[in-house]
Amino acid sequence: MASLPTPRGPVSEVLVSVLDGNFVEQLTAWPEPAGDDPADPVRVADDALSLWTLHELAYRGFTGVDERWEWHPDLLALRWRLEGELEQRLRKRMPATDRTGDVVADLLRIIADDDAPSLARHLQRHGSVEQAHDLLRQRSIYHLKEADPTSWVIPRLEGGRAKAALVEIQYDEYGAGDPARLHHDLFARGMEACGLSSEPNAYVDDAITEVLEQNNATSMFGLHRRLRGAALGHFAAFESTSSLPSRQLVQGFERLGLPVEVRAYYDEHVEADAVHEQVALRDICGALVEREPDLAEDVLLGAWTCLDLEARTATAMLKRWGVA
């Protein structure tokens, strides 16, 4: 387990203080958010860390934190507000475009229209070892629990092709029965080989707001049954756009002389995600919407959110590195 994160504003400060104390049945009121503007960067950073912290209670928790806090009604009320505001921001950011009525075709169009800057391409050609390590630290917030957010969705699906196909891919993500091939363990070994900590959430204090929002969206989609369509749309977009960047990162890491262990993690995804792409698009999202047509718009929301948050993260990281 990791330690509690360093607060970034009034809400996360109170939340961390509460979790660091003794469990009580009832809490006092939460402080007001940092500023009146929901888009204010200070408020967004505070809210993002607070929501990430609340979500982590449902994963591995924190050292010394009473596990009963996960279902405390006052913490759930705070999570309800923060998730509602995040969902509203994501829905507002998604542009209104014409739909073909074929969810797979619409997903493919969203993916094809994506022209975001590429961190992988930068590291393939020009990046430094320091930048590669920075990327690994940022990505460790998700990759050290890789596949877990999507696994929340499995019991939220009815039987049929979508559920069977999702379990098929998740089986691969969890090492196809081989503990040594668990994807998050492969990433952990890569971190250790680079001299970085493989402890989950060791680098959350260094995580940029965009990375926290990536994690928050994935957890929120997976934890809410009504957002199962968004969870699977996000999953499909991720699987459909990770094979080429993984290949570029392997080449960049080889150029930089990074250990074979970290290259092995991305090598695994070059082939695996190329295979998963069509399964995720057609056998999961296509089958889901065929069975539940009302979920089509949420499937597209999830896919668009995945690519939008990745674009915002890449832009922020390139700016951080002084190459934007």
- Domain positions in the chain: 10-93, 103-320
Q: Is the pLDDT of residue 33 over 80?
A: no
**DSSP 8-state symbol, 2:** B
Please check whether residue 183 is in contact with residue 173, taking contact to mean a CB–CB distance below 8 angstroms. yes
73-93 vs 10-19: helix crossing angle, rounded to 10: 150
Say how far apart CA 18 and CA 72 lie, in whole Å.
Answer: 11
Say how far apart CA 52 and CA 62 lie, in whole Å.
Answer: 12
pLDDT band at 224 (very low <50, low <70, confident <90, very high): very high
Query: Which residue, chain included where needed, has tokens 């929301």?
Result: 301
Amino acid sitting at position 232 = L
pLDDT band at 272 (very low <50, low <70, confident <90, very high): low
**Using one digit for the tens of pLDDT, what is the confidence trace for 121-179?**
999 999 999 999 999 999 999 999 999 999 999 999 988 999 999 999 999 999 999 88
pLDDT of residue 26: 83
Q: Which of 253, 145, 130 is nearest to 199 (CA)?
A: 145
Q: Work out the average pLDDT over 279-293.
A: 96
Say how far apart CA 243 and CA 164 lie, in whole Å.
Answer: 23
Q: Using only C-alpha atoms, what is the Rg of the chain? A: 19
Say how far apart CA 231 and CA 246 lie, in whole Å.
Answer: 22
**Using one digit for the tens of pLDDT, what is the confidence trace for 2-12?**
899 999 999 99
Say how far apart CA 15 and CA 18 lie, in whole Å.
Answer: 5
CATH of 103-320, one of 1.10.1060.10, 1.10.3720.10, 3.40.50.720, 1.20.910.10: 1.20.910.10
Say how far apart CA 192 and CA 256 lie, in whole Å.
Answer: 17
| Sequence-ordered list of residues with C-beta below 8 angstroms from that of 170, at least 6 positions apart, any chain | 147, 150, 151, 154
Neighbours of 138 (CB within 10 A): 23
